[in-house]
Structure 1
Amino acid sequence: MTAERIEVVVVDDHPVFRIGMSALLDEMEQVHVVGQAASQAEAVEVVLEHRPQVVVMDLDLGGGSGAEATREILRHAPDTGILVVTMFGDDDALFGAIKAGARGYLVKGAGPDEVERAVRAVAEGSVMLGPQVAGRAVAFLTGARSARGGEFAELTERERDVLELLARGHDNTTIARMLVLTPKTVRNYVYAIFTKLDVNDRSALVVKAREAGIGVSRPEG
């Protein structure tokens, strides 16, 4: 068990879940909820006021995005551990949360013991992924490693992010939203990728990426 007090902020736009999660956390030994928030802007404000070790973060906030809130919080308080607890267990939500800097990811419905393990792990600086998403996280990391070698070595980290999402079939507007960029910036990245990988169109780029294992979902289990 973690000996030191763990202070937590809970961010969720559904009051019933937010209050219930806060009550659950307050029942855990040496875990104390010091604030709650219901929107992206409120989350940043409350976290910067209280400076908790852990933020339990929903992704779909009525007043903004949990992933964007995560990015902004970590810009100001990089040691904060973000534990995403969300309804979304799909690849895109997982990828966006990890890229934003989340250390933990659970799907709502996780049991109290699993939530407690995740909170304590994130507070200690570890990464904790729920069983529903762990296999897909490994697939993401495997694809990222593929993009760092061979002819993909010239790509910058952000270009690799764009390539991963492009290979998964997303359009520029969606990629821009997920990576918190403008569509024009994404177009510039795509053009740079075309040039570096010597391809002439999007279809050829997708084929090349998928042949290297980038953007290819791997079966779990």
Structure 2
Amino acid sequence: MSISVVLADDQEMVRTGFRLILSAEEGIEVLGEAGTGEEAVARSRELRPDVVLMDIRMPGMDGIEATRTLAAGPAPPRIVVVTTFDLDEYVYGALRSGACGFLLKDAGPRLLVEAVRAAAAGDAMVSPSVTVRLLERLTAPEPPRPAAREALSPRELEVVRAVARGRTNQEISGDLFVSLSTVKTHIGNIGSKLDARNRVEIAAWAWENRLVD
């Protein structure tokens, strides 16, 4: 079953680029586009996509308000904010308004596709360049939890460190010379052992336990 997507951005060239990237991927279908926050809300309610890629700075209603409006409605789509601006107020505003991901437009096609797939699967994706700053603000130093740490195998600890550094599944696969399916299995096992719901929580655990500098 295809993942359905609505693109919301006030720049037609950006929407066209996103459409070309996503339409080339198997299992992803772009249902429609919007150039304003109001249009994003209307098109999303009309087309009922699985995922909305939402810009922040748009005429009239901005992307954060549009995200908040959709998140408060019935059967809301999964929303990934995709923007040029990585200001803290935008990051926190987007996530607190109900977005499940925050991606910078210069992150590249591979991360854009992975963010869509992660959102559709109920997971979260935060642009690697934002992750470190976000975790520094959201986490406080805590004593290591040896029981949880000891439950992870050496290979799983390698995967945890890679996730905390913002590496994608594909990049982890290449770094560790294992298949993509093996990486996904490791992340699933890690999530179960740490009681972590997504990659952001796995990364937070790694930072709290000082597995990465």
Q: Classify the TM-score, shorter chain.
A: 0.5 to 0.7
Q: What's the CA shift for 1:53?
A: 0.5
Q: Against the structure 1 CA distance between its residues 77 and 19, is the aligned structure 2 distance closer, same or farther, given a 3 Å change threshold?
A: farther
Q: Against the structure 1 CA distance between its residues 126 and 40, is the aligned structure 2 distance closer, same or farther, given a 3 Å change threshold?
A: same
Deviations for 1:133-183, whole angstroms, at most 9, x for unmatched residues?
Answer: 11122133226x9xxxxxxxxxxxxxxxxxxxxxxxxxxxxxxxxxxxxxx
Q: What's the CA shift for 1:14?
A: 0.6
Tell me which of 114, 117, 120 is aligned to 1:120: 117
Deviations for 1:16-53, whole angstroms, at most 9, x for unmatched residues?
Answer: 11111112111111100001001111111000001101
Q: Against the structure 1 CA distance between its residues 133 and 78, is the aligned structure 2 distance closer, same or farther, given a 3 Å change threshold?
A: farther
For residues 70 and 13 of structure 1, the distance between their equivalents in structure 2, rounded to whole angstroms, comes to 15
What is the aligned partner in structure 1 of residue 5 from structure 2? 8
Tell me which of 93, 98, 103 is aligned to 1:96: 93
For residues 17 and 114 of structure 1, the distance between their equivalents in structure 2, rounded to whole angstroms, comes to 15
Corresponding position: 1:44 with 2:44: no
For 2:72, what is the secondary structure of its paired residue?
A: helix
Question: What pairs with 1:11-26 in structure 2 (closer than 5 Å)?
Answer: 11-26=8-23
5+ residue gaps in structure 2?
A: 143-211
For residues 24 and 77 of structure 1, the distance between their equivalents in structure 2, rounded to whole angstroms, comes to 29
Pick the structure with greater CA Rg: 1
Q: Against the structure 1 CA distance between its residues 61 and 121, is the aligned structure 2 distance closer, same or farther, given a 3 Å change threshold?
A: same
Q: What's the CA shift for 1:64?
A: 2.0
What is the aligned partner in structure 2 of residue 135 from structure 1? 132
For 2:6, what is the secondary structure of its paired residue?
A: strand
Q: What's the CA shift for 1:63?
A: 2.6
- Structure 1 runs (4+) deviating above 3 angstroms are none
Q: What's the CA shift for 1:75?
A: 1.3
Q: What's the CA shift for 1:74?
A: 1.1
Corresponding position: 1:87 with 2:84: yes
Deviations for 1:68-126, whole angstroms, at most 9, x for unmatched residues?
Answer: 00011111144411011101112111011111111111111111111111110001110
- Whether the aligned pair in 1 keeps the contact of 2:78 and 2:120 (CA below 8 Å) is yes
For residues 138 and 120 of structure 2, the distance between their equivalents in structure 1, rounded to whole angstroms, comes to 23
For 1:52, what is the secondary structure of its paired residue?
A: coil
For residues 91 and 67 of structure 1, the distance between their equivalents in structure 2, rounded to whole angstroms, comes to 13
For 2:106, what is the secondary structure of its paired residue?
A: coil
**How large is the Cα RMSD of the aligned pairs?**
1.8
Tell me which of 12, 16, 26 is aligned to 1:29: 26
For residues 140 and 65 of structure 1, the distance between their equivalents in structure 2, rounded to whole angstroms, comes to 24
Residue 39 of structure 1 aligns with an amino acid whose one-letter code is T
For residues 62 and 74 of structure 2, the distance between their equivalents in structure 1, rounded to whole angstroms, comes to 18
Identity %: 39
- Whether the aligned pair in 1 keeps the contact of 2:70 and 2:76 (CA below 8 Å) is no
5+ residue gaps in structure 1?
A: 146-219
